[in-house]
Amino acid sequence: MIDSARLFRAQIRLSVSVPCSPDAGLSASDPSGEDELRDQANNDLAPTQVDCAVADSAPADPSNGMDDFFRLKRRLLLFTLLLSVGAVAITAVVVNLATAFSVLVGATAGLLYLWLLSRSVSRLGENSRRISKAQLLVPAVLVLVASKVPQLSILPALLGFLIYKPAVILQALLDRSTVIGGSSPSRP
């Protein structure tokens, strides 16, 4: 399983089959089960204790992964929005309002792109097996509009569009710091 940012770490699950009933692992040649216990003691991957109640419990809720995805989606959109507002404000103060307007248009296109992409990803598995390509029209339309409208500059609009990328990196770093800090929720 991959973490919520899908960038830094992977969890590998090893499944070890251990019988839960007291006589399930006994063979006819070794009724006491000592050979099997000795083999397990020599095996580094063998569990030291097995809780049969946990092993027989129902599988984890399948919607749990989608809940994590929707939480990630909201955080990415929020980080992108906050970074966009900050970039537009800084551009308005440092450069000028016309350039800030171009950055605002580009940042809005970046938010739309990210929203369309996340919507397409959330539909995977339900009805489709591939990601829609509708979000790819957003940067093309942005460049066309910026080249035709005299009040917009292409470079600031493209830089505004790319604001979603630092938001993704920020989210990945925050996810990594919570895992390193030990405050991440335990997963089944």
Confidence of residue 178 (pLDDT cuts 50, 70, 90): confident
pLDDT over 70 at 6, yes or no: no
- The dihedrals phi and psi of 2, each to the nearest 5 degrees, come to -105, 150
Confidence of residue 114 (pLDDT cuts 50, 70, 90): very high
Listed by start position, the domains of the chain span: 72-172
- The dihedrals phi and psi of 16, each to the nearest 5 degrees, come to -120, 125
Comparing 147 with 61, which gets the higher pLDDT? 147
75: how many CB neighbours lie within 10 A of its CB?
A: 17
Residue 36 CA to residue 88 CA, distance in Å, equals 68
pLDDT of residue 40: 52
34's tokens: 């000592």
pLDDT of residue 56: 41
pLDDT over 50 at 9, yes or no: no
Mean pLDDT of 118-145: 86
Alpha carbon 139 to its chain centroid, in Å, reads: 23
pLDDT in tens, 157-175: 999 999 999 999 988 898 8
pLDDT of residue 123: 82
pLDDT of residue 129: 77
pLDDT of residue 131: 80
Mean pLDDT is lowest, of 45-54, 98-107, 130-139, for 45-54
Residues contacting 4, CB < 8 A, separation 6+: 68, 69, 71, 72, 175
pLDDT in tens, 59-96: 455 556 788 889 989 999 999 999 999 999 999 999 99
